[in-house]
Structure 1
């Protein structure tokens, strides 16, 4: 018989939460899991040029190493949250970690591009179970205001800094060990997390309706998958080709059917009042665009730094860090500004600033451009603009949401970023390949690097267009005041 020791220093020592006594250890475990999920989005981007050469992946297909992960993660994130609540948060956490480790091992040992893409999709599937389970454990473990705020601050710092860790670790492993270890490194991390989770974390579940919206899950996954595949067919056969049009139409029809199913479902995967709200809709659109730019657009920054400027993987990882630093600084500025003047201004200004950074990049990059005078200033402006958008958009996502649906609303913002990344990566790849082809035709004697730069510039240009479109939508629809923002803000899962 074991006796649970209670912390007498707390004002309310009696808790029905079985994880309360060991809450700080639980925070360490959850933080480790979150770091694994977040850094995996950027660690592979740094390794991708080497993986492409090793596995013989074409320029048109290499994006699947990023797209497969983001698409599976984003499409299944809402379902993963429901499973974690109903099946058990500890159980879902451990199964998600085991599956993530197995998929990582398969990817690290891949001998073909298809094997790598399948493994990345597998990572996304299990990340969609692992990430919401980790957040649910954290939310139910820290229930008192001051400690909860501290725990969420740590969690948010890990979410924001994980991308930077991925850039550095990916560069180190690719340059000094092998690109495969960018995936294999997850295996020992997962084994350690499992070893400490089993004896420390206690099981918790949600009560009430435990039915799953399987039709909704199938339709949203089918719709998003068809859209992404349609974009890739446009790159191969043209936008007016039957495969491109056909898959895009199938995707839109499936998403339309998803809306119809959710309207009639007594236990919807996504209560439709959440995305339909005039304040939340701009935040979700902004999250889609942020995901497309951060996951899709900046992938081509990696290629530019390594392929054109000749940086090593590690140096290119370090060279990308100012983007993360600028995002972190601006997110803090935006959070403070939102409490003083409301979220509308930073939400509207941020896209314009970020677009200016991309315009600064596309108008000045060349085969022999200087990182210090061209790339670095553009990264700082881009990152600052994106940082201005993120915090207020996540906060607005929770305004007016019923307590029962708060998890779904928060997960939807993060799912939107991942889905935006998947769609953006596929779309930007089509733009990149088309621009290269057009430039080569017009300039048959051009240097290969000049052709590459032409493709990158078009990607940055279209990313800037998508960002600018967000501002008028925010100005027209958002009506939230500073007094309506949730006191604790939103916590991102990414």
Structure 2
């Protein structure tokens, strides 16, 4: 990108611009539209899974692969593609959109379980490519300070809103049209974003192309695939499952191999110096906890709404619209909060708000008169969660040069994908172990234990941010867009 397009500091040392140019506004809209679409894909099929199984002849035990195949690729390949985004940011972004559109068309036209799983694999690969490439373009297009904070705030809000929208939209499309439209809807959106991106977004390749660390890429990708697969197996078959334990052990071993490789590599995939930065390390830990807890809370509340209160899948999905509003509010105000109190304090404030709101849900009862508590708790928790997410994104990408932004956003994206993938199996295992009976009262008891664990994890993450992020990022005063 040119200096004008990327809004970088001028050679004379002038302060970076604090208002968006017309081109930057278009860049922002295009990148946010892509990220929103990808977030929707994470949850749009959740409500439709039973219908898809009946329509294509999936065995009940194989139904999980519709979600697992996507999650494996989206989380497993994101760090590799994040590094590739440093080399071919724009080209990777455009290529990923092409693959996403084609895979979505294939999924919508699928006539067998095998074809559908193949489509989901390529959707996951496209997500692993487009998400870090889009974030890399976003952070290199906007300088550190108010513009980047606002751009990341909007991005975080739309990502969380997209996850919630996917649950609602999946139910609507499945009930009114067909589950196939959960795939088809991506095709025109991907095409529009692709055409606009070709015209508006400039080439972002570096002048000197660094070498790709192949041993590091192979070890981290296989390690992440093994960890994510192990987590999904744990969610399906329990934490004592041999498949889960072996996969998790293999994943940890491969990630240790990756660390050893990176220490000696001349051109490492992830420079150890980057990982040793306190902002990168603890920022990503805070983000991992934020995504793990809020997405798994959606799972717990879905069980509450359907298994305890007796809501239909569509009604349960619509109930999360309030959570979506909370995330949008949180993403909107997060840049202003960061501007006033700094990123560290924003992470802590958001964590405290989310902890209190989540803990309040322990008081839910077994009849629909308690819906007010669920709606208020999820709204407030969504606001707090988004303060953490935006704070994490700003923290984890601050203080790094443009040529490492793809790496930083790749790490952040990996954190997001792994957190989303980890949350449901962990909370599912906790809730299942604590359920005391088959009736609504037994289910509710198990859910309350899982909610308490969820709140405790948020609190632990908040305390960690308070203890280890001792040097807050300098506060800036955001300007209006």
Change (3 A) 1:175 1:237: closer
Question: Matched residue of 2:400: which SS?
Answer: coil
Q: 1:255, 1:435 → 2: CA distance?
A: 32
The answer for the alignment partner of 2:465 in structure 1 is 474
Change beyond 3 A, Cα 1:235–1:434: farther
Q: Following TM superposition, by how much is the alpha carbon of 1:254 offset from its aligned partner in structure 2, in angstroms?
A: 0.6
Deviation at 1:64, TM superposition (A): 4.9
Match for residue 80 of structure 1?
81
Q: Does 1:465 align with 2:464?
A: no
TM-score if structure 1 supplies the norm length? 0.79
Partner of 1:38: 39
Q: Aligned in 2, Cα 1:365/1:267: closer, same or farther, shift over 3 Å?
A: farther
Match of 1:422 in 2: 421
Tell me which residue corresponds to 2:245. Answer: 245
- The question of 1:184 aligning with 2:163 is answered no
Shift of 1:250: 0.9
Structure 1 residue 470, shift from structure 2 partner: 0.8
* 8 A contact 2:347–2:387 mirrored in 1: yes
Closer, same or farther: CA 325–427 of 1 in aligned 2, 3 Å: same
Change (3 A) 1:213 1:486: farther
Question: After superposition, where does 1:60-75 map in structure 2 within 5 Å?
Answer: 64-75=65-76
List per-residue Cα deviations over 1:278-308 (Å, max 9, x = no partner): 3433321121112212333313433443454
Q: Are the structure 2 counterparts of residues 137 and 404 from structure 1 closer, same or farther at C-alpha, using a change threshold of 3 Å?
A: closer
In the alignment, what sits opposite 2:305? 305
Q: How does 1:24-423 map to 2 (within 5 A)?
A: 25-48=26-49, 50-51=51-52, 64-87=65-88, 89=90, 91-110=91-110, 116-137=116-137, 158-159=158-159, 161-197=161-197, 203-234=203-234, 239-240=239-240, 242-306=242-306, 308-366=308-366, 368-370=367-369, 372-423=371-422
Residue 116 of structure 1: how far off its partner (Å): 4.4
Q: CA deviation at 1:320?
A: 0.5
Cα distance in structure 2, aligned partners of 1:104 and 1:330: 31
Secondary structure in 2 matching 1:370? helix
Segment of structure 1 superposing worse, 382-391 or 353-362: 353-362
> CA, structure 1 residues 157+455, in 2 after alignment: closer, same or farther (shift >3 Å)?
closer
User: Whole-Å Cα distance in 1 between the matches of residues 61 and 349 of structure 2?
Assistant: 34
| Separation of aligned partners in 2, 1:284 and 1:304 | 30
- Check whether the contact 1:66–1:422 (CA below 8 A) recurs between aligned residues: no
Deviation for aligned residue 1:125: 0.8
- Deviation sequence 1:331-377 (CA, Å, 0-9, x none): 444443433333333323433432333333244243x3335323212
State the number of aligned residues: 462
- Please, what is the CA RMSD of the aligned residues? 3.7
C-alpha deviation, 1:56, in angstroms: 7.0
| Between 170-179 and 283-292, the greater mean CA deviation after superposition | 170-179
Distance 1:215 1:486 in 2: 41
Compared CA separation, residues 118 and 465, structure 1 to 2 (3 A): farther
Alignment match, 1:3: none
TM-score, normalised via structure 2 length = 0.81
Structure 1 Cα separation of the partners of residues 341 and 32 of structure 2: 32
CA contact (8 A) 1:279 1:479 kept: no
The 1-side partners of 2:115 and 2:217 are apart by 25
Report if the CA contact (8 A) 1:96-1:129 is conserved.
yes
The answer (yes or no) to whether the contact 1:211–1:267 under 8 Å persists in 2 is yes
Counterparts of 2:407 and 2:361 in 1: how far apart (Å)? 37
Does the 8 A contact of 2:86 with 2:404 survive in 1? no
Pick closer, same or farther for the CA change 1:185–1:332 going to 2, 3 Å.
closer
